[in-house]
């Protein structure tokens, strides 16, 4: 795995940086946004579901990158890896990790 490891709040270095790769609306719920973050190699991902109403105010900004525990990540299928890698790399090239996008 080529994911960037970062230090977490406890300083044990056991987090992985993921970058926003996709933002879509939920199929069944028009009020639901699905954020997909991925490692730069596209092998691992994190999906977060948020209600559209939760996007208001600075405390609910969507960050360009997140540092998460490896246990929170799923493994992308071979079909998804290239797409996720390209999307995550684009976000990383255009933004700093803490940028609100």
- pLDDT 10s digits, 55-76: 555 567 889 999 999 999 999 9
What pLDDT score was predicted for residue 8?
38
Task: Tell me the H-state helices in the chain.
Answer: 78-94
State the virtual CA torsion across 90, 75, 41, 17 in degrees, nearest 10: 70
Is-above-0.85 flag for pTM?
Answer: no
State the virtual CA torsion across 42, 45, 49, 52 in degrees, nearest 10: -30
Q: Is the pLDDT of residue 52 over 90?
A: no
End-to-end CA distance of the chain: 26
The residues near 83 (Cβ < 8 Å, ≥ 6 apart) are 21, 42
For 12-51, the pLDDT digits (tens) are 569 999 999 999 987 765 678 899 999 999 999 999 988 7
């Amino acid at each position: 795995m080529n994911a960037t490891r970062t230090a977490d709040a406890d300083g044990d270095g056991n987090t992985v940086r993921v970058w926003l790769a996709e933002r879509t609306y939920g199929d069944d719920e028009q009020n639901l946004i699905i954020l997909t973050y991925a490692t730069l190699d596209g092998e691992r991902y994190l999906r977060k579901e948020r209600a559209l109403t939760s996007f208001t105010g600075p405390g609910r900004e969507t960050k360009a990158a997140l540092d998460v525990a490896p246990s929170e990540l799923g493994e992308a299928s071979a079909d998804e890896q290239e797409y996720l890698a390209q999307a995550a790399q684009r976000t990383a090239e255009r933004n700093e990790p803490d940028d609100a996008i």
